[in-house]
Structure 1
Amino acid sequence: MSNASPMDFCKTLALTALQEKIATRQATVGIFGLGYVGLPLALRFSEVGIRVLGFDIDQVKVDAINNGKSYIERIAASTIVQAQKQGFNATSDFSRVSEVDALVICVPTPLDKHREPDLSFIRNTVETALPHMREGQLLSLESTTWPGTTEEVLAPRLLSRGLIPGQNCALVFSPEREDPGNPHYGTKDIPKVIGGMTPTCLSLGISLYECAIQTMVPVSSPKAAEMTKLLENIHRSVNIGLVNEMKIVADKMGINIHEVINAAATKPFGFVPYRPGPGLGGHCIPIDPYYLTWKAREYGVNTKFIELAGEINHFMPQWVVGKVMDALNEHGKPIKGSSILVLGLAYKKNIDDTRESPAVEIMDLLQSKGAKIAYSDPHVPSFPHKRDYHFDLHSESLTPDNIARFDCLVLATDHDGFDYAQIRAHARLILDTRGRLAVGGTVVGA
């Protein structure tokens, strides 16, 4: 890694001008995708006095921002209003790409029905923006993807328009590391990994991000940055897969896995406690391992260990439903016709994010077996629109009478806002997938 200054790297007038704009905080940043990643990043840049133009194809989000409203629970409307005072506004008009100096892509990278990478959101964003791009702009991809995406998917598209990374534009990959609901680490506090197509690209990318983020972590290439993000999430997937498998074994043996984990965690070295649950959720951990396994096949490598962890985690909602059936049978009830309340729709506690939530799959599986489904979640008042799941439901209030009318409650997400004493006092049967409730009485641990 060279120690030369950013200005030493800027070989062309266009990039010299870009560096000057960044250094004087006169650059305008365009954020593409105003969801759980893009909106916090936009607000952080605004907070340090940088003008931000947000792009989204969802007109509802665009209108909400421009009207000073928030659609993410943890972001107050007042924060958006304050950002507007710094020039933040949103648009669905991609012709305005020419107004920005840096383009930061924060769009989804889901899996298709064959559990293979779906880069359509990235491709569509770049191809829609490209006719309006110009020399002297920086393009940063933050969406999690397979190693090589920046060089193999984005760079050729820039070159087709005469935009050459390191000469008249800059291209970097810097993966998002948002952790919704984490009170200790916000956007500015989480170290930022970044890899550039050239030293010039890397230098410009660092100059931009360090305006808003405290610690930069440069790596040798976009591929290294892309692999870093995958390793972080695969590490969690594998360990969660391990503890979920241990939970199944412990359940068969009549052992409380949570007691075991707590005991093991007293070891001051060599052990990190991971908690079992009903499956994986969120925008990264259930998806990212498949991005690497898919790309690894191109190199003739079979990622058996990673795929096995994915299979275990993917199986957990089915295992939970099996436990519900067993528990109902023991109480003389078939699952068909039973009324079941799922507690918690978000993928983890104390947030409103339901992306890839195992609770949703559990609801779908229970309904397919004839159960009457409802849910309660203080953070998700109405069931959100999803590509693969459609429930016309609203969150149930947890009054004593309402709790008592259900044949079974399934604790899928252990929000702190639930009144667990009340739930225990009035529920007929509870299946606890999170270890929040003591096992015994009407409570069945899963």
Structure 2
Amino acid sequence: MPADLAVLGLGHSGLPLAQAAVAAGIETVGYDEDEETTAALNAGRPPSDGILTAAAVRRMNSRGFRATTDPDVLSEVRTAVICAPTSLGPDRALNLDAVRTAALSLASRLRPRTTVVLESEVYPGATEEFLRPLLEEGSGLRAGRDFHLACSPARFDPGNRRYGVTGTPKIVGGLTPTCTERAAAFYGRLAVKVVRARGPREAEAAKLLETNFRQVNIALVNEMAVFCHDIGVDLWDVIRCAETKPFGFHAFRPGPGVGGHGVSIDPNYLSYRSRSLGYPLRMVELAQEVNGRMPRYVCQRAAELLNEHGKSARGARVLLLGVTYKPDLADQEGAPAREVALRLKQLGAQLSFHDPYVMEWQAAGQPVPRADSLYEAAATADLTVLLQHHRRYDLQGLAAKARLLFDTRGASPTGAAHRL
């Protein structure tokens, strides 16, 4: 009997999809080229980014999930979902190598009537222009006639206790109406709602619109943070007042920069596509510029605070709290903490860090000492900088112990710390 589903790529989006599918009673196999990843999952060990617990992995395995590096399993499935990671190269160019590799592994084993769905973060048009030729040339089959092809962008929000894979509507855009319906039928077994797009390009663009909505609004409030500080206005009180408006406003909060698998990467796909047409998406690129300046601004403020308290940044002992990109997770993808650390080191600061989810950490290729005793470290540091607000941090108690506390997240009680 063929398996119901193969998930290609067991990373930040693929593994939660596999978990949801297994929980829904769908026979699922996970394919990944990384032997260490597959061996760990089969042994019941969770990934290091903390996206799933050990108990969740063991529960998946007990329900029949298996991970493998053997691509031959792909010839036995009815539905194949590509969740391979995408990234930016050193020149900020798109890197779809992992998607290409997954597609080639699948193509030579693709059977007629299989449904193939792309969930990886890509630019609008990639399903048709990039993925479709790889699958057709490698299989000898034709998309829309011999097999079904669709895009359903990942919407998983790590750590979100309310909206998981099953609780979030899924957008589906197929190459043909039949492709859309086949993909929708699959996701209908998992998600609370399936939303049909006109095609894969619309589905791809919807993901980028969602991501850029956050990027642009985060940039707006980051710019407001700088402005309000310069004119002596409490931004956090401004936000508190503004969010009481019951219409036309959605509250965003500033921070030391953006990170993660979406906001720090996806907007580049949209701007990349617009540049290929001969014009930039000015709002998106400006938002990236504004957000990209925040680590530097945090270091500027840190140096100013030290100076106001009779200390120079050179030789100052600075403790960084929270080096992950999101609270209560171990994932460090795109987190601004590394740039903050690099810039502080360039100013001559002596760094240490604390994060309940990270035991070892590096900045600029050099290890940063970890503070084992948080309160003792804060009491001896010249400056403590909160970069990520994990729930385990008692900020009231921390503010009482720290010599000087700089809160870049606005999470501390009013008056307890210097805020961004």
TM bucket, shorter chain: over 0.9
Residue 199 of structure 2 is matched in structure 1 by 221
Picking from 213, 218, 223, the partner of 1:245 is 223
Aligned to 2:188: 210
**For 2:108, what is the secondary structure of its paired residue?**
helix
| Deviation, structure 1 residue 370 | 2.5
* 1:381 corresponds to 2:355: no
- Aligned partners of 1:289 and 1:306 also within 8 Å: yes
Q: CA separation of 1:292/1:58 partners in 2, compared to 1, >3 Å: closer, same or farther?
A: same
After superposition, what is the alpha-carbon deviation per residue over 1:45-91, rounded to whole angstroms, capped at 9, x for unaligned? 11111111112232222111111121253523232222223321111
Check conservation: 2:396, 2:412, Cα contact below 8 A. no
Structure 2 residue corresponding to 1:156, chosen from 125, 133, 141: 133
Give the deviation of 1:122 after TM superposition. Answer: 1.1
3-state SS, counterpart of residue 398 of structure 2? helix
Aligned position for 1:48: 24
After superposition, the Cα gap between the structure-2 partners of 1:245 and 1:419, relative to the gap in structure 1 and judged at 3 Å, is same
Q: CA deviation at 1:392?
A: 2.9
Partner of 1:178: 156
Where 1:295 maps in the other structure, the secondary structure is: helix
Structure 1: gaps (5+ residues): 1-20
2:382 is the counterpart of 1:404: no
> After TM superposition, what 4+ stretches of structure 1 lie above 6 angstroms from structure 2?
none
**Identity score, percent:** 37
Per the normalisation by structure 2, the TM-score is 0.94
Residues 317, 135 of structure 1: alpha-carbon distance in 2 compared, 3 angstrom cutoff? same
SS in 2 for 1:101: strand
Which residue in the other structure is 2:419 paired with? Answer: 445
Provide the residue aligned with 2:124 in structure 1. Answer: 147
Q: May I ask how many residue pairs the two structures share in their alignment? A: 418
1:118 is aligned with what amino acid?
N
Correspondence for 1:326 among 291, 301, 304: 304
Cα distance, 1:139 vs structure 2? 1.4
Q: Report the TM-score when normalising by structure 1.
A: 0.89
Q: Tell me the equivalent position of 2:36.
A: 60
SS where residue 351 of structure 2 aligns?
A: strand
Structure 1 residues 170 and 389: alpha-carbon distance in aligned structure 2, compared to 1, 3 A threshold: farther
Match of 2:397 in 1: 422
Q: Compute the RMSD of aligned alpha carbons.
A: 1.9
Alpha-carbon shift at residue 438 of structure 1 (Å): 4.2
CA distance in 1, matches of 2:306, 2:157: 36
Q: Conserved in 2, the CA contact under 8 Å of 1:378 and 1:395?
A: no
CA distance in 1 between partners of 2:293 and 2:341 (Å): 14
Alignment partner of 1:113 is 2:90: yes
Distance in 1 between residues matched to 2:189 and 2:358, nearest whole Å:
34
Shift of 1:220: 0.8
Which secondary structure does the structure 2 equivalent of 1:140 belong to?
A: strand
Unaligned runs of 5+ in 2: none
- Does residue 96 (structure 1) correspond to residue 73 (structure 2)? The answer is yes
CA offset digits 1:289-324 (Å, max 9, x no partner): 111111012222321111111100011011001111
Match for residue 100 of structure 2 among 123, 127, 136: 123
SS state of the match for residue 240, structure 1? helix
Cα distance change, pair 81–437 in 1 and its aligned pair in 2 (3 A): closer
Aligned AA (2:229): D
- 2:104 and 2:135 in contact (8 A); partners too: no
- Residue 399 of structure 1: CA displacement? 3.9
Return closer, same or farther for 1:276/1:203 CA change in 2, 3 Å cut-off: same
Amino acid at match of 1:427: A
